Chain A
Amino acid sequence: MIVPPSWFMALGAVLFAIGVAGVVLRRNVIVMLMSIELMLNAVNLTFIAVSRALGSVDGQVIVLFVITLAAAEAAIGLAIIIASFRNRETVNADEMNLMRW
């Protein structure tokens, strides 16, 4: 049986929800970043599925760009974590609350 693209999109939804849960529930900022990557990949999966369903290659090009942007964002994010770690000695999100009232 041929797997319809909607199943792939459903899988993408599951992975996205798991990624969101990870961002909200984990306190380690590195793991939070990983969860964000997971969300991005879920979206990529959805794009590819739609591209296949519509028969257009545009979806894959978009995924290409997303991958590129994910790379840039991961680099910058990790650099910020490193800089912050120098001052604070922690990667615990709960303890990074200088901007509180």
Chain B
Amino acid sequence: MTASFPALGLILLLPALGVLFNLFLGRRCGRAAVNFVGPAVIFGAFAVGCWAFATLLTMPRGAALAVTLWPWIEAGSFHVDFALRMDALSAVMTLIVSGVGAFIHLYSVGYMAHDEDYARFFTYMNLFMFSMLVLVLADNLLMMFVGWEGVGLCSYLLISFWYSNAEFAYNGRKAFVVNRIGDAGFILGILTLVYALGSHGVWTLTFTGMQAHREILGTTWGPLGCSVATVAGLLLFLGATGKSAQIPLYVWLPDAMVGPTPVSALIHAATMVTAGVYMVARLHFLFIMSPPTMNLIATIAALTAFFAATIALVQPDIKRVLAYSTISQIGYMFMGVGVGAFASGIFHVMTHAFFKALLFLCAGSVMHALDGEQDMNRMGGLWRKLPITYATMLIAALAISALPGFSGYFSKDLILESVYDSGHVGLWLLGVITAGLTSFYIFRLIFMTFHGTSHVDPQRAAHIHESPPVMTIPLLVLALFATFGGWINVPGHFLWGDAFVRFLAPVTGNFKPVMEASPTMLSMLAVAATVIGIAFAWLLYIRQPQLPGRMAETATGLYRTLLRKYYIDELYNTLVSRPLFWIAGPALARGVDQQGIDGLVDGSAMTVENSGEAVRRVETGNVQHYVLVYLFGAVAIAAYYLYLVMR
């Protein structure tokens, strides 16, 4: 059943007001006002979200709150409204987005305290929150796409926030362009759905509407004989790889780290990059009807998870490690939805939001203390000086390593179990290996940053200080959730078993396992991999610190390939960018425009000019020449008449 809940509109209105205030009045009202309004509107949206969620809990399972803001498109039978819908799935996403987002806004107050452009920063951040909430609360695919584009825009704006640096601006553009490639797929997917549904007389893009007519999605479409669901699903997934940084469109995320760290935490860890997972979960009825697409999603996800984890093993930049970690963890989420366990993917979205945001904020705290240093080789031994940061970051590392009891354990374990149960044993194995790699690189990060001998630049070492409370409070709050947040979904027979999954089931459908293995055994294997990873990291970075260097020297080829991200950026540059630039430059700009079109225009002018030059020599100025010509003309005319007379 659907109940009307107009206050849902407030969830969007508050961030929008924040945007307007910060944009037009921010500079005038001063830093204090902006520092208050920026986070406050998000906390307000979170509060309204909690209220809506509470209301939803009192309603029967499968209920939803809805409100139509205003009609948007009316084209004959095709009808799209700006309407919001909060069911179990979007409620969870809303709370994650606004909750984590609110604390990150609070953190930014401290982090950006020395930046002059505070008004612009909070404008963009609020705009991002607005777009993300539109994406999450939209009740139809087209409105979701509006939010999708909006977050892409804000990502670009925030990555190149310090635009005076050419490299940062370039990275922002790179993110936007790569995203756009995915968006092309998304648009084509939407059009496929509109066309397919429309040719059966159904003209709606609302999720409930499409789900009600999902038998149409099973019909074949196009010359290749695939079903509508397959075609649309593949296209939409292409969009998801762009937004959620999976193979092949992940290349923008590591470079996006040049933006301010709160941006990395919010957008490129907790919220925007999970939009793809949300989209797949939302359209579960579509993807379920296309097993080939699901298999593809799961496979690409597993490969991405493994691939990104290997790169993270050797990166020296603290934020880059976290960026590749994000790519890897999103791979886990897609693995979950790819095998049909949509709720597990969303569960990992939630826990990942907690611990990844926490990791980024802690990294930001470290960088704040070290005056912007990002290279871990120049860190070390910081745990005494930054106790809160160290403690919270350690908790986050334990969570991401999926050690039992922490939030990450419950979600990752659920995913791996679902993958194994669906029959994809190979992918499961890849997931387990990746778990080992994950714990390795994250503890490598912890050890290099906080333990061991200090390689900090002496000048900076003198100023190391813990961050102010406005920054550490969010860290503590997130650490709390990273620790206990997973307990809402303990496995089957314990306590309130599978509460989260059961809560989402009316919306995301039930996962039907193919195989049934002992869950405890699978868990043990995964935990074992994790512990091995941590032990290895301890060995390499605490016990024998010279080992990493020696290993790098022995396997230079492998090491360099990993360090240079498998040269994928260079590959894309050669295969895509350079040909495109060649087409634009020498081919089109010079060839067609300059030589072709300009040549035609100038050439015709030159022809006229030259022919004029040649012809004007007839004008000799000598009357007798003119008379001669006249005479010949007269002779010719007379000859003509003569001819007529002769006939």
Judging by beta carbons under 8 Å apart, are A99 and B619 in contact? yes
Judging by beta carbons under 8 Å apart, are A100 and B624 in contact? no
Chain B min CB distance to A38 (Å): 14
Q: Chain B residues near A24 (CB, 8 Å)?
A: 624, 627-628, 631
Judging by beta carbons under 8 Å apart, are A101 and B623 in contact? no
Judging by beta carbons under 8 Å apart, are B622 and A93 in contact? yes
Judging by beta carbons under 8 Å apart, are B631 and A20 in contact? yes
Chain A min CB distance to B403 (Å): 98
A97 interfacial contact with B, CB 8 Å:
yes
Q: How long is the Cα–Cα vector from A81 to B619 in the complex, in angstroms?
A: 21
Q: Chain B residues near A27 (CB, 8 Å)?
A: 624
B458 interfacial contact with A, CB 8 Å:
no
Chain A min CB distance to B611 (Å): 14
Chain B min CB distance to A34 (Å): 15
Select which of A23, A32, A97 is within 8 A of B620 by beta carbon.
A97
A89 interfacial contact with B, CB 8 Å:
no
B616 interfacial contact with A, CB 8 Å:
yes
User: Closest chain B residue to A29 by CB distance?
Assistant: B623
Q: How long is the Cα–Cα vector from A27 to B621 in the complex, in angstroms?
A: 14
What is the interface size of chain A, counting residues whose CB is below 8 A from a CB of the partner? 13
Judging by beta carbons under 8 Å apart, are B628 and A100 in contact? no
Q: How long is the Cα–Cα vector from A40 to B393 in the complex, in angstroms?
A: 119
B493 interfacial contact with A, CB 8 Å:
no
Judging by beta carbons under 8 Å apart, are B624 and A97 in contact? no
Q: How long is the Cα–Cα vector from A20 to B628 in the complex, in angstroms?
A: 9
**219-260 of chain B: CB within 8 A of chain A:** none
Chain B min CB distance to A17 (Å): 10
Judging by beta carbons under 8 Å apart, are B619 and A23 in contact? no
Judging by beta carbons under 8 Å apart, are B624 and A98 in contact? no
**1-48 of chain A: CB within 8 A of chain B:** 20, 23-24, 27, 32
B200 interfacial contact with A, CB 8 Å:
no
Chain B min CB distance to A80 (Å): 12
User: Closest chain B residue to A100 by CB distance?
Assistant: B621
Q: Chain B residues near A94 (CB, 8 Å)?
A: 622, 624
Q: Chain A residues near B621 (CB, 8 Å)?
A: 96-101
User: Closest chain A residue to B626 by CB distance?
Assistant: A99
Contact with A along B595-631 (1 / 0, CB 8 A): 0000000000000000000001111111110011001
Q: Chain A residues near B627 (CB, 8 Å)?
A: 23-24
Q: Chain B residues near A20 (CB, 8 Å)?
A: 631
- Given A20-B631, A24-B631, is A96 in contact with B617 using a C-beta cutoff of 8 Å? no
Select which of A93, A99, A101 is within 8 A of B624 by beta carbon.
A93
User: Closest chain B residue to A97 by CB distance?
Assistant: B621
Q: How long is the Cα–Cα vector from A42 to B132 in the complex, in angstroms?
A: 104
Q: Chain B residues near A32 (CB, 8 Å)?
A: 624
Q: How long is the Cα–Cα vector from A99 to B627 in the complex, in angstroms?
A: 15
Q: Chain B residues near A93 (CB, 8 Å)?
A: 622-624
Q: Chain A residues near B628 (CB, 8 Å)?
A: 24
Q: How long is the Cα–Cα vector from A93 to B623 in the complex, in angstroms?
A: 7
Judging by beta carbons under 8 Å apart, are B631 and A100 in contact? no
Judging by beta carbons under 8 Å apart, are B624 and A96 in contact? no
Q: Chain A residues near B620 (CB, 8 Å)?
A: 97, 100-101
User: Closest chain B residue to A98 by CB distance?
Assistant: B621
Q: Chain B residues near A96 (CB, 8 Å)?
A: 621-623
Chain B min CB distance to A14 (Å): 16
Q: How long is the Cα–Cα vector from A22 to B618 in the complex, in angstroms?
A: 22
User: Closest chain B residue to A20 by CB distance?
Assistant: B631
Contact with B along A77-101 (1 / 0, CB 8 A): 0000000000000000110111111
Q: How long is the Cα–Cα vector from A81 to B628 in the complex, in angstroms?
A: 21
User: Closest chain B residue to A95 by CB distance?
Assistant: B622
User: Closest chain A residue to B634 by CB distance?
Assistant: A20
Judging by beta carbons under 8 Å apart, are A101 and B622 in contact? no
Most buried by B among A32, A98, A101: A101
Q: Chain B residues near A23 (CB, 8 Å)?
A: 624, 627
Q: Chain A residues near B618 (CB, 8 Å)?
A: 101
User: Closest chain A residue to B617 by CB distance?
Assistant: A101
Chain A min CB distance to B172 (Å): 63
Q: Chain A residues near B617 (CB, 8 Å)?
A: 101
Q: How long is the Cα–Cα vector from A100 to B626 in the complex, in angstroms?
A: 11
Q: Chain A residues near B623 (CB, 8 Å)?
A: 93, 96
- Given A23-B624, A93-B623, A96-B623, is A101 in contact with B631 using a C-beta cutoff of 8 Å? no
Chain A min CB distance to B619 (Å): 5
Judging by beta carbons under 8 Å apart, are A97 and B622 in contact? yes
Q: How long is the Cα–Cα vector from A32 to B621 in the complex, in angstroms?
A: 16
Q: How long is the Cα–Cα vector from A24 to B622 in the complex, in angstroms?
A: 11
User: Closest chain A residue to B619 by CB distance?
Assistant: A101
Q: Which 3 A-B pairs have the closest CB atoms?
A: A100-B621, A97-B621, A101-B616
A-B contact pairs, 10 of them (CB 8 A): A23-B627, A27-B624, A32-B624, A96-B621, A96-B622, A97-B622, A99-B619, A99-B621, A100-B620, A101-B618
